[in-house]
Amino acid sequence: MYQPNRFKDFPRISSNARPIHSGGSSLASVAPLEAILFDIDGTLCDSDPLHFYAFRDMLQEIGFNGGTPITEEFFIKNISGKHNEELREILLPDWEIQRSRKFLEDKEALFRRLASEQLQPMKGLQKLCKWIEDRGLRRAAVTNAPRSNAELLISMLGLADFFEILVLASECDRVKPFPDPYLKALQELDISHKHAFVFEDSVSGIKAGMGAGMPVVGLGTRNPEQLLIEAGAVFVIADFDDPKLWTELEEMEIKAEATTTTK
């Protein structure tokens, strides 16, 4: 069963000891910046360990994989970042729809209990939020998670008043990796994709942000850095304190100022 003190021991698949790779691009193209859009799970907070523990224990209880607990690698490859309707088809294809949905609802309830005990913000999140607020930038949270999860995490992280809008993929025609959730966020903010970028930690999220026409910064919290680069991330950071991020933000501001001066 889940042991609370194991949260800190959940290993990062992407080791911070290695250099952060670049996708060969930058954020300069969005200057002047008007908005930043965030995924929630694995981006605002490193919540994947809690999802992993919940899935591992509940899947083992129903005899999934012959009763052998799923591994972290299986979780990252097959579960992380996916919408529950997609997971229902991946994990429980032979179950009746209502039964599989109830199973996933119970899993989300277990996740919320675990999150309420020990969720922590991504390192540097407060610093980044202040930077955004000081510049009057627009902001939105865009997620594949259920509303109850999204609202709990945003509240626990103290960001209820920070985000102007919350977009749930389940309320769009298509979920990530399709661009619909991010397109809806841009529409509600009344911001062009040319002046916004995205923070994401999953392949599906990166593809969704790119599909909406925005550059995406990858968070290497769990997924391998190279996988995020191959998905299309302009670069990958370890967390919001990563010097690479702040160098890019500074260069973007310099470009915006130069553009304004020449007009």
Domain edges within the chain = 21-47+120-262, 48-118
**Mean pLDDT across the chain, nearest whole number?**
90
User: Is 41 considered catalytic here?
Assistant: yes
Per-residue model confidence as pLDDT tens digits over 165-206: 999 999 999 999 999 999 999 999 999 999 999 999 999 999
Selecting among 39, 46, 48, 242, the annotated active-site residue is 39
Share of the chain above pLDDT 70, in %: 89
Selecting among 41, 180, 201, 242, the annotated active-site residue is 41
| E-only strand ranges, 45-187 | 138-143, 165-168
Share of the chain above pLDDT 90, in %: 81
Per-residue model confidence as pLDDT tens digits over 191-248: 999 999 999 999 999 999 999 999 999 999 888 999 999 999 999 999 999 999 999 9
Question: What is the CATH number assigned to the segment(s) 21-47+120-262?
Answer: 3.40.50.1000
Cα distance from N-terminal residue to C-terminal residue, the chain? 62
Strand-pair partners of 216: 198
> Which is higher by pLDDT, 4 or 154?
154
48-118: same fold as 21-47+120-262?
no
pLDDT at 14 over 70: no
User: Is 39 considered catalytic here?
Assistant: yes
Is 0.95 surpassed by the pTM of this model? Answer: no
Binned at pLDDT 50, 70 and 90, residue 4 comes out as very low
pLDDT at 27 over 80: yes
Question: What is the CATH number assigned to the segment(s) 48-118?
Answer: 1.10.150
Per-residue model confidence as pLDDT tens digits over 54-84: 999 999 999 999 999 999 999 989 998 899 9
Please tell me the distance from the alpha carbon of residue 216 to that of residue 235, in angstroms, as a whole number: 8
